[in-house]
Chains A and B, each alone.
Chain A
Amino acid sequence: MTSGTEKASGKKKDSLLQWLDERLGLEAAFKFAQKKQVPIHKNSVWYYAGGIALMLMVIQFASGILLMVYYVPGLEAAHASILRINSQVDFGWFFRSIHSWGANLLIAVLAGHLFSAYFMKAYRKPREFTWYSGLILLVICLGFGFTGYLLPWDDVSFFATKIGLDIASKMPVVGEAAASMLRGGHNIGQGTLSRFFMIHVAVLPLLCLGLMALHLLFVQMHGMSEPGYFKKLEAAKRTYEKFFPNFFLKDLLVWLLALNGLAALVTLYPWGLGPEADPFGAAPIGIKPEWYFLAPFQFLKLVPPHIGPIEGELFGALLMVVACSGMVIVPFFDKGESAGKAKIATYYGLVLLLGIIAFTIWGALS
C-alpha cells in the first residue's frame, strides 16, 4: 500500500519521504524489502508460523503490560488482584484471557515453527545461529509459561510450581542451589512469588527482546531457508514471490485470522481462576501441569523411584535432556553433505515429535 500511495500522491508526500529518507535511510530499507523473496513450494505454509509467533509475542507484551497495572505480586494480594481484574476492572477479563490464551497459542505455534524448521533442515549452514537463537527463545517462552503460571496464586498453579521446583532440585550439582534460588526459601511463599514475578516481567522479557531482534536479523541476513528438494530444482522451476508486498499482505491476512481465532477463544471461553492457593491444603485431585509440560510430567511418572544408585527422577530428567540434545547438535551432525545423516536427523526429529505428542496425549488422558 505504501508504494502505491507514494506514487499516486503529490509532491508533498515525496518531500516528506525524502526528509525521512535522508535521516533514516528508508530507500535502502525499501530496496531490501523489495529484494527479499519467499520461495513457493508445497511447504510454504510453514513460513507463516514465525510471523504468527511474532504477532502473538507482541500481543503478550502488550497484554502483559496492561495486566501489570492491576496485578499485585503479594502473597495475600495476588489472587485477589487477579480476581479483581477478572471481575471488576472493565475489560480486565478480556486482557487476562488474551494473555493466558495467547501464551498457550504462542507455545503451540512455536512448537510448529521449531519442527517445521527442523524438518525443512533450516538449521544447516549458514543458519546455525538462527536455529540456536530460536531454540533459546523457545526455552525462554517455556520459562515465561512456568513463571507466569504461579502468579495468579491459585491452587493448581501453586502445586504445579512446587512439583516443577522439586524436579529441578533433583538435578545433579546445581539443582538444589538453583531450585532454592528460585524458591527464595525452603517453601514456596512470598519469596517465590517475588522472584517469579521479577523473572516473568523483567528478566525474560529483556532476554526475549534481545534474542528476537537477533533471530529476526539472522533471518534477514540469510533470507528464507529453502528445503533441499526445492534447491535441487532447475532454476526455471523454482518460483518465488516478493516478500513485499505479496507475501507481506498474505502474512497480514494470516495474522488477522490468528487474531480472530484468539478473539473467539477469549470471548467464548474466558480464562477462569481457581480457588486461592492454600500451602497447607491437600493437592487438588488429578492435578496436572499446563499441557506443554505434560510430556515430561508423564515421562517422569513412568520412571521407577530408583534406578541402580541414582534417583529415578534424576535419571528421567537426564534421559530427557539427552533425548532433546539432538536438537542442539543437529547443525553439526547433519551439514547437508551426507544423505544418510540427513535421514537419521529426520528420523530423530520424527521420533522426538511423536514421542512428545504421545506423552502429551497420554498425560492428558490419564
Chain B
Amino acid sequence: MEEQKPEENSEKHEHGGCGGSAKDSSCSPSPCGSSGDAKSSACDGNGGCHDDKSNSEKISSEKASSIGNSEQPSSNCGSTGGCGNSGNDDSEKCSRSQFLRAAVPCVGGVWALMAAYPIYSYLTPNGGDEPESKVSSVTVGDIKDLPPGSGKNFKFGSMPALITHTKDGEFHAFSAVCTHLGCTVQFRPEKDLIWCACHGGCYDPSSGKNTAGPPPKPLLALKVEVVKDKIIVSKA
C-alpha cells in the first residue's frame, strides 16, 4: 500500500480527480507545482520531487519521517495544519503533504461542482408547465372589423402576431416579433407601415419587408384566408 501511493499521486494528476474542476492551475503536470505558490518553500528543498524519484526514496525516508513524527509530536503536521512550519528536513514527507494540499482542493472542487449541479439543474427552466403552443390556425375576427388601411395585433398561440388590411384590399399577417430585438410591432395607419416602438424599425405592411431602421430581416409571414367573412390566419 505504502509503496503504491506515489503512483496514485501521478495518476491522479494526469487524469481523474481534477477533471472538470475548473482548477487547471492546480492540476499542472508536475505534481509539486500543483498549488502554484506553495511550490517555493518545501518543494525546492527536495529538488524537484518527481514521483519516480521520491518513490524510491519514499521507502527509506518513510521510516525516518514517521519515527521523527511520533517522537516529536509537537511538530506534528496535523496539529498546525501543515508541515512547512516545523522546519523538519524530511522533504519527502512534505512533498506528499503538498500533494495532498493540492489534491484536496482539486477533488473538493469536483465535489463542490457536484453539489452545485442540483442548483444549476433546478434553476434551468424545463418548460414543464408552459407547453410550447401548437396552434396552427387562429380565427382573428370578422372582415367588417378590419377596414382597408388598418391593422390589428392578435395572439397566435404564444406568439404575438399582426394582421394588416392594406389599401389594395389584401390581408397580410405576420409574426409581430420585431426581428431586431424582439419587441412587439404595431400597424401605424397614418404612415401606412408596420412600426416598432422600441427602436423605430419599419416594415412594409404588405410584404413585411424591413424598410427602415435597425431590423435586419423581414417579419415572419403567416398565411391569411377569408372564409365566410371570417379571417383565419395559419402558419405559412
A91 touches B118 (CB 8 A): yes
Q: Total number of A-B contacts with CB less than 8 angstroms?
A: 68
Distance in Å from the Cβ of A338 to the closest Cβ of chain B?
A: 43
Contacts of B126 in A (CB 8 A): 88-90
Interface hits, A1-31 → B, CB 8 Å: 1-5, 7-13
Stretch at the interface among B79-87, B181-189, B221-229: B79-87
Interface hits, A66-112 → B, CB 8 Å: 66, 69, 84, 88-92, 94-95
For A88, give the chain B residue with the smallest CB separation. B128
Distance in Å from the Cβ of B40 to the closest Cβ of chain A?
A: 4
B82 touches A5 (CB 8 A): yes
**A5's contact among B38, B119, B123, B124, by CB below 8 Å, is which?**
B38
Q: Say whether, besides A4-B82, A5-B101, A13 and B121 are in contact (CB < 8 Å).
A: no
Contacts of B42 in A (CB 8 A): 8
Contacts of A88 in B (CB 8 A): 126, 128-129
Contacts of A12 in B (CB 8 A): 37
B84 touches A8 (CB 8 A): yes
B50 interface contact, C-beta 8 A? no
A4 touches B85 (CB 8 A): yes
Distance in Å from the Cβ of A361 to the closest Cβ of chain B?
A: 36
Complex formed: what's the CA distance from A92 to B40 in Å?
Answer: 46
**B128's contact among A1, A4, A89, by CB below 8 Å, is which?**
A89
B122 touches A92 (CB 8 A): yes
B84 touches A84 (CB 8 A): no
A69 touches B123 (CB 8 A): yes
Complex formed: what's the CA distance from A66 to B84 in Å?
Answer: 42
Contacts of B80 in A (CB 8 A): 3-4
Complex formed: what's the CA distance from A9 to B85 in Å?
Answer: 10
Interface hits, B56-112 → A, CB 8 Å: 80-85, 98, 101
Complex formed: what's the CA distance from A69 to B120 in Å?
Answer: 12
Q: Which of A2, A8, A89, A92 has the most CB of B within 10 A?
A: A8
For A62, give the chain B residue with the smallest CB separation. B119
B122 touches A95 (CB 8 A): yes
Interface hits, B176-195 → A, CB 8 Å: none
Contacts of B84 in A (CB 8 A): 4, 7-8
Dominant SS among interface residues on chain A: helix
**A8's contact among B82, B121, B123, B129, by CB below 8 Å, is which?**
B82
B41 interface contact, C-beta 8 A? yes
For A246, give the chain B residue with the smallest CB separation. B79
Contacts of A326 in B (CB 8 A): none
A10 touches B118 (CB 8 A): no
Contacts of A304 in B (CB 8 A): none
Q: Which of A3, A12, A91, A92 has the most CB of B within 10 A?
A: A91
Complex formed: what's the CA distance from A324 to B37 in Å?
Answer: 57
For B121, give the chain A residue with the smallest CB separation. A90
B128 touches A8 (CB 8 A): no
B39 interface contact, C-beta 8 A? yes
Q: List 26 A-B contacts (CB under 8 A).
A: A2-B81, A3-B82, A4-B81, A5-B38, A5-B81, A7-B85, A8-B41, A8-B84, A8-B98, A8-B101, A9-B37, A9-B38, A9-B40, A11-B40, A66-B122, A69-B122, A84-B128, A88-B129, A89-B122, A90-B118, A90-B121, A90-B124, A92-B122, A94-B122, A95-B122, A245-B81
Pairs A-B, 9 closest by C-beta atoms: A4-B82, A8-B84, A4-B81, A10-B40, A88-B128, A91-B118, A90-B121, A91-B122, A7-B85
